[in-house]
């Protein structure tokens, strides 16, 4: 089967710095991959290389079955959504969306713009200018504009980064729905780990210009291949396993009992749960999320147990 986009052994050197070292990534049609990693790990550069805004130093990029490695950005047929400032300020919303549709006859172009406006629920704002829209509306227009030419893949570079949290969550799900509906593949760069795990069909974790792991959220969350991936995605504790190695446990996998060899260092109220930060007798730190029952306070002694089948 062909992938919507396939990145093979791509390296990229910007100035004096190697930003990407041999990245491999393949996205199926209709699949949403979230791309996370610390700042400067190369996630935005990877998108720019796929889009053709930076040149790959070596490697191969295939979009919709076509090798685009040597093509300029305007020939690659990918969609791209930036965090902000990407709309054409001097053009109305409908003209913004129609920008990539020059190849279509007029009637068809008009219909496509209308279809896109309805898809992102902005049908009544087509004659506004970008500065007359809210931040969320602007990002919907940007998405509609990127999807209008029906590219096999849309690249989203922290598209919700400039929005407040409530709107971010809401728009995130909406974007996922829209992409699924259009059967369009997407790579979504985010610095929000929660967003990465919840929105992605698969999550790709990058560090130092490499994709360390790319898998469905549950696998990446529970079976991270390196300690970096484990710590980066969510709070992690390590307990000795029977094999003598360290075993990863997430906060929901631990139970805390009053009295024992460890000490509660801090209790945080998280709404539906309490988060306990515990100093174990051997000096390591454990984190557990528990319901509001059996309340312990900072300074109390306690014991922990790893829950089975969780």
Partner 1 sequence: MRPMRLKLGDMFGWATILGIVALVASPVLVLAWSWRDPSGDVWAELWRTRLPGMISTTAILLIAVVGGTVVLGTSLAWLVSAFHFPGRRVVGWLLVTPLAIPGYIGGFVWLDTLSNVVGARGVRSLWLCALVLIVSLYPYVFLFARAAFADQGADTLAAARSLGLGSWGAFFQVSLPMARPAIAAGAALVAMETLTDIGTVRLFNVSTLSDGVMRVWFGTGDLGAATELASALTGAALLLIACERLLRRGGRQSRASAEKVMSPRTLTVFGNAVVLSVVVVVLTIAVVIPVARLINWSIESNRAGTALTVAGGIRHHAGNTLMLMAAATVTAIVIGTILALVVAHRGRLARLAGRVSTVGYAMPGPVVAVGAVVMLAAVDRRDVLPDSFLLVGSVIGLVYALVVRFIAVGYQGVEASLERVPQPAVESARVLGAGRMRTAFTIEVPAARFGILAATALLAVDITKELPITLLLRPFGVDTLSVWVWQATSESLWAQAAVPSLVMVFMGMFSVGLLLVALERGAELVS
Tell me whether residue 73 or residue 241 sits nearer to partner 1 (CB atom).
Answer: 73
Binding-site member from 1, 16, 89, 309 for partner 1 (CB under 8 A): 89
Tell me whether residue 100 or residue 224 sits nearer to partner 1 (CB atom).
Answer: 100
Stretch that binds partner 1, among 30-38, 108-116, 145-153, 290-298 (CB under 8 A): 145-153
Binding-site member from 100, 152, 172, 209 for partner 1 (CB under 8 A): 100
Residue 83 contacts partner 1 per CB under 8 A: yes
Binding-site member from 65, 70, 252, 285 for partner 1 (CB under 8 A): 70
Phi and psi torsions of 43, nearest 5°: -65, -45
State the Cα–Cα distance between residues 27 and 79, nearest whole angstrom: 14
**Token pair for residue 191?**
């610095």
End-to-end distance of the chain based on CA atoms, in angstroms?
Answer: 35
State the Cα–Cα distance between residues 239 and 291, nearest whole angstrom: 21
Neighbouring CB atoms inside 10 A of 193's CB total 17
Q: Could you tell me the smallest distance in angstroms from the CB atom of residue 137 to partner 1?
A: 17
Residue 76 contacts partner 1 per CB under 8 A: yes
Binding-site member from 14, 26, 29, 53 for partner 1 (CB under 8 A): 53
Tell me whether residue 144 or residue 236 sits nearer to partner 1 (CB atom).
Answer: 144
Residue 84 contacts partner 1 per CB under 8 A: yes
State the Cα–Cα distance between residues 286 and 284, nearest whole angstrom: 7
Q: Smallest Cα–Cα separation from 54: which of 44, 64, 40?
A: 44
**Contact present, 130 and 174 (Cβ < 8 Å):** no
Residue 46 contacts partner 1 per CB under 8 A: no
Tell me whether residue 74 or residue 297 sits nearer to partner 1 (CB atom).
Answer: 74
Residue 244 contacts partner 1 per CB under 8 A: no
Q: Rounded to whole angstroms, what are the CA distances from 37 to 41, 151, 182, 217, 240?
A: 6, 26, 28, 15, 27
- Interacting residues with partner 1 (CB under 8 A): 51-53, 57-58, 70, 72-80, 82-90, 99-100, 102-103, 142, 145-146, 149
């Amino acid at each position: 089967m062909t992938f919507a986009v396939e990145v093979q052994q791509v390296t990229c050197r910007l100035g004096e710095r190697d930003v990407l070292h041999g990245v491999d990534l393949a996205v199926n049609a209709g699949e949403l991959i979230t791309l996370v990693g610390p700042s400067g790990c190369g996630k935005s550069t990877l998108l720019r290389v796929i889009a053709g805004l930076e040149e790959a130093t070596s490697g191969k990029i295939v979009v919709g079955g076509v090798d685009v490695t040597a093509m300029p950005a305007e020939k690659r047929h990918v969609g791209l959504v930036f965090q902000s400032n990407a709309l054409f300020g001097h053009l109305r919303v409908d003209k913004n969306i129609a920008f990539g549709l020059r190849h279509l006859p007029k009637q068809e172009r008009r219909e496509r713009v209308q279809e896109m406006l309805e898809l992102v629920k902005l049908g009544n704002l087509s004659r506004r200018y970008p500065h007359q829209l809210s931040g969320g509306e602007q990002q919907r227009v940007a998405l509609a504009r990127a999807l209008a030419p029906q590219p096999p893949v849309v690249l989203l570079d922290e598209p919700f980064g400039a929005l407040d949290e409530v709107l971010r969550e809401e728009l995130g799900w909406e974007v996922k729905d829209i992409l699924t509906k259009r059967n369009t593949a997407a790579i979504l760069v985010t610095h929000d780990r929660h967003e990465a795990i919840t929105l992605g069909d698969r999550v790709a974790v990058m560090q130092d210009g490499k994709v360390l792991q790319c898998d469905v959220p549950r696998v990446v969350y529970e079976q991270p291949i390196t300690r970096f991936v484990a710590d980066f995605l969510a709070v992690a504790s390590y307990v000795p396993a029977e094999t003598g190695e360290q075993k990863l446990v997430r906060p929901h996998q631990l139970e805390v009992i009053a009295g024992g060899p460890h000490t509660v260092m801090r209790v945080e109220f998280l709404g539906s749960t309490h988060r306990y930060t515990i100093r174990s007798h051997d000096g390591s730190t454990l984190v557990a999320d528990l319901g509001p029952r059996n309340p312990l306070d900072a300074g109390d002694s306690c014991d922990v147990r790893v829950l089975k089948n969780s």
